[in-house]
A and B are shown apart, each in its own frame.
Chain A
Amino acid sequence: MNFPQDLKYTKDHEWVKIDGDIATIGITDFAQKELGDIVYVEVETVGETIEAGEVFGTVEAVKTVSDLFMPVTGEIIEFNEELEGSPEMVNEAPYEGGWMVKVKITGDLPGDLLDAASYAELVGE
């Protein structure tokens, strides 16, 4: 499974790419495989400021529905509109076209973000 080195990860299986004070967020390759075919990504929190660990949206697979958790505290500034019509991008390219939201980071980064190696260990890779 693929866990890029330049990303940080959460125990809830989100990845976050930090670029200055902007974070791009999605779910990991492990998560998309576990969930199966993603058929709907619902994010209705654009414009809201959400604490790390809180729910910012929902991802629905054919069989399951799961909450999406903020890896960092910040304001949701953009939702990946491509996912409206092509939610399968999350399966096909979880770290590229399958990104979900961009966030303007407002607080300190949480201390429990994992690096690629620690996350791989967490999911037994």
Chain B
Amino acid sequence: MEDQIKKIALNDLHVSLGGKMVPFAGFNMPVRYSSDNEEHLCVRNGVGVFDVSHMGEFFVEGPHALELIQKVTSNDASKLVVGQAQYSCFPNETGGIVDDLIVYKFSDEKYMLVVNASNIDKDWAWVNKYNTMGAKLTNASDEYSLFAVQGPKAIEAVQSLTPVNLTEVKFYHFTVGEFAGVKDVIISGTGYTGAGGFEIYVKNEDAEKVWKAIFEAGKDFDIKPIGLGARDTLRLEMGYCLYGNDITDTTSPIEAGLGWITKFTKDFTNSEAIKKHKEEGVSRKLVGFVMQERGIPRGHYPIVDAAGEIIGEVTSGTQSPSMGVGIGLGYVKTEFSKPGTEIFIQVRNKNLKAQVEKLPLLKG
């Protein structure tokens, strides 16, 4: 059975802006408005806005909210203060990852989980399955639009729209306030670009008003709509994982370099096995790399050593618009994971030299 492709609230607006709409994670999404490179650089150097309303939002409420979140996520949500957000993942029972997500704390008894669009149904089933404690769960994914206003000029461009002092919305913190005349907008110091800025969650009925206000306010800053194409190249320059590429049902958080969001201060799904994984070491690791020869790495290209022996596989790759060279992420045998190690990417039967690099790949 063919799944119905969903439309985000502002679908028609994006088409009118020249957005090329493509099916992505079950939604028609703008992949590009003008040029991937131009949009990428617009965010790196100025300000741009992504409509990422396909993302899923679950609310977890009640006296058992934290208990459920602690059970299903790898990071320690008990460390959150009200108004703080946390990157985390849902480990599965067999050593892999169900999804990565952001946990927002609104109060001791109210949290929001923001999950990937492609995994909304799977995640919803997952948290419900573990909700033996009786937390109140609401899937609000079809009610919210999400705009990521990203870039070094993001705050300046839209500060006039809100009484909230945007410079005080720190990284991975958020506030709920009035924005573009709309009340109860969630303004979050998050993003997926490494370019600075924030994300705003609004109800679908207010989405068009808010979008238009952002572009009116940002006019003098040359604000532009940005497609998912540039979102991918921006995140890859930072080395941020993309679920489905770099992390999957079969990659462990330890292999993926997500040890920093895996806290053994509490018990969670498969935590015993993951702890063992961490203590005993893993045989492969996710690394970032930069091409030393001309060529562009792509997902599933083999990674080989100097002798041509396969040592891993590329999970994400592109030509970096900021750096002008091929960059990527991939799993390699642990002995090849140290920054500075020479590896080779097999591009159309040629082994092209690359170097393992510390993240982010784009150095400030």
Residue pair B294, A62 in contact (C-beta under 8 Å): no
Chain A positions within 8 Å of B35 at CB level: 36-37, 91
A65 CB contacts on chain B under 8 angstroms: 296, 298
Q: Which A residues between 60 and 99 are near B, CB-CB below 8 angstroms? A: 60-63, 65, 91
Residue A39 CB within 8 A of the other chain: yes
Number of contacting residues on A, CB 8 A? 12
Q: Given A62-B321, A63-B36, is A36 in contact with B229 using a C-beta cutoff of 8 Å?
A: yes
Q: What are 10 A-to-B residue pairs whose CB atoms are below 8 Å? A: A36-B36, A36-B229, A39-B296, A39-B319, A42-B348, A62-B318, A62-B321, A63-B229, A63-B318, A65-B298
- Contact between A62 and B348, CB atoms less than 8 A apart: no
Instruction: Supply 12 further A-B pairs (C-beta < 8 A) apart from A36-B36, A39-B296, A42-B348.
Output: A36-B229, A37-B35, A60-B319, A62-B37, A62-B40, A62-B229, A62-B318, A62-B321, A63-B36, A63-B318, A65-B296, A91-B35
- Within the complex, what minimum Cβ distance (angstroms) separates B67 from chain A? 42
**Once the chains bind, are A63 and B232 in contact (CB under 8 Å)?**
yes
A58, B296: Cα distance in complex, Å: 11
Determine the chain B residues whose CB is within 8 A of the CB of A60 once the complex forms.
296, 319
What is B's interface to A at a CB cutoff of 8 Å? 31-32, 35-37, 40, 229, 232-233, 294-296, 298, 318-319, 321, 348
Residues of A at the B interface (CB closer than 8 Å) are 36-37, 39-40, 42, 58, 60-63, 65, 91
The answer to whether A62 touches B233, judged by C-beta atoms less than 8 angstroms apart, is yes
- Interface pair A37/B296, CB less than 8 Å apart: no
Known interface pairs A58-B348, A63-B36, A63-B318. Does A40 touch B298 (Cβ–Cβ under 8 Å)? no
A42, A58, A62, A91: the one within 8 Å of B319 (CB): A62
A42 to B36, CA, bound (A): 20
* Chain A neighbourhood of B296, CB < 8 A: 39-40, 60, 65
Closest to B324 in A: A39
**Complex formed: what's the CA distance from A36 to B39 in Å?**
11
Q: How far is the CB of A52 from chain B (nearest CB, A)?
A: 21
Q: What are the 5 closest A-B residue pairs judged by CB atoms, nearest first?
A: A62-B36, A39-B319, A37-B37, A36-B36, A37-B36
Output the residue of A58, A63, A91 with the most chain B CB within 10 A: A63
With CB as the reference atom, state the residue of chain B lying closest to A65.
Answer: B298
Contact present for A40 and B348 (CB under 8 Å) = no
Most chain B beta-carbon neighbours within 10 Å: one of A37, A61, A62, A63: A62
Which residues of B sit under 8 angstroms from A58, Cβ to Cβ? 348
A62→B296 CA distance, assembly (Å):
9
Q: Which residues of B contact A42 (CB under 8 A)?
A: 348
